[in-house]
Structure 1
Amino acid sequence: MENFTFSLLHSDSEIPYHLLLLADETKEAINQYIFNADIYLLHDGTENIAVMALYKKSTMELEIKNIAVIDSYRSKGIGSILMDKAKEIAKENHYKTLTVGTSDTGFQQIRFYEKNGFIKSGILKDFFIENYPAPIYENGLQMRDMVLLRHHLTE
């Protein structure tokens, strides 16, 4: 596989909204978490091909707030590379749990997280109804609930 560079975005750098919007519906929604998250970029030598935003939910829990890969690199294992990096970062910083939330209509995303060792841990009822100004559709269905998934880290 190609040589990829993984880096933490400096706080004075421009936020890569064009990448973050691949996984979140609005800039306003991204702004709810992005200023308190660490943003990581994956670069292929010519362009940024993926982004991941990690949020310190507590001293024990690190949350993946956003993870996205550009279209031309999807289904090539890049998402799993990012997941491995997230687990590595969480372990290095002594977190016990890595969590993520996704739409109940995001069947592919749920399968992806489960494939990477996450298990369903809860539902936030009506999350997308209450937190977004207009209905959002995915896979022909209105996004309603957020599915929470959790990965317990081992030492």
Structure 2
Amino acid sequence: MIELIRLSEREELPLKLLLLADPSEKLVLEYTQRGQCFILEKSGRIIGVYVLIPTRPETAEIVNVAVDEAFQGKGYGKALVLHAVETARNAGFRTIEIGTGNSGVSQMALYQKCGFRMTSIDRNFFLRHYDEPIFENGIRVIDMVRMSMDL
């Protein structure tokens, strides 16, 4: 059985999963305090997570979405993103945003399949915010590709 559940502020964060999508524990702990964290459970095991934060009036952002590596490629990431979109819509937001590294080819494809469109590139984002270099798909992650959807 699969369940999507909002964590309360007192519940322990699935930090290991959150760090799959964002290697900075400091940043993860900071933005999880500002937003809502939702977990995807399958048979009592946490296999996915996303964090939704308000950023500007009428705008929310998915700042982290991750699926346990053993469960990737099975549609759980899409379910998380679509749940975040519906959660933002139900909360009255008019726009939802998401960003990914310049090397996140599969993430960009997923977000576009869910209805997001590319809006901008935040040049050198990962150089400004991360002390250690990040590599994905053999490519250094330097820029943030920003995407959004009108709700």
Describe the superposition over 1:116-136 as per-residue Cα deviations: whole angstroms up to 9, x where unpaired: 111000111100011111211
Tell me which amino acid in the other structure corresponds to 1:53. V
Runs of 4+ off more than 6 Å:
none
Corresponding residue for 1:83? 81
In the alignment, what sits opposite 1:138?
136
Structure 2: how far apart are the matches of 1:91 and 1:138? 31
Q: What letter matches 2:126 in structure 1?
A: F
Aligned to 1:27: 25
Structure 2 counterpart of 1:110, one-letter code: M
Matching of residue 148 in structure 1 with residue 146 in structure 2: yes
2 CA distance for matches of 1:8 and 1:129?
A: 32
The normalised TM-score by structure 1 is 0.93
SS at match of 2:11: coil
CA distance in 2, matches of 1:14, 1:105: 30
Please list every run of 5 or more consecutive structure 2 residues that lacks an aligned counterpart in the other structure: none
Give the drift of 1:72: 1.7
State the aligned residue count.
151
Which of 32, 40, 61 is residue 42 of structure 1 equivalent to? 40
Cα offset, 1:22, TM superposition: 1.1
Match of 2:104 in 1: 106
Aligned to 1:121: 119
- More helix, by proportion: 2
Q: Give 5+ residue unaligned stretches, structure 1.
A: none
Q: How big is the shift at 1:30? A: 1.0
2:12 is matched with which residue: 11, 14, 35? Answer: 14
- Rounded to whole Å, the distance in 2 between the matches of 1:6 and 1:31 is 21
Cα-to-partner distance string for 1:69-126 (whole Å, 9 max, x where unaligned): 1112111111111122111111111111110011011111111111111100011110
The 3-state SS of whatever aligns with 1:32 is helix
Q: What is the TM-score normalised by the length of structure 2?
A: 0.96
Amino acid at match of 2:119: S
**Helix, strand or coil for the counterpart of 2:20?**
coil
TM superposition shift of 1:141? 1.4
- Quote the sequence identity (%): 32
RMSD of equivalent CA atoms: 1.0
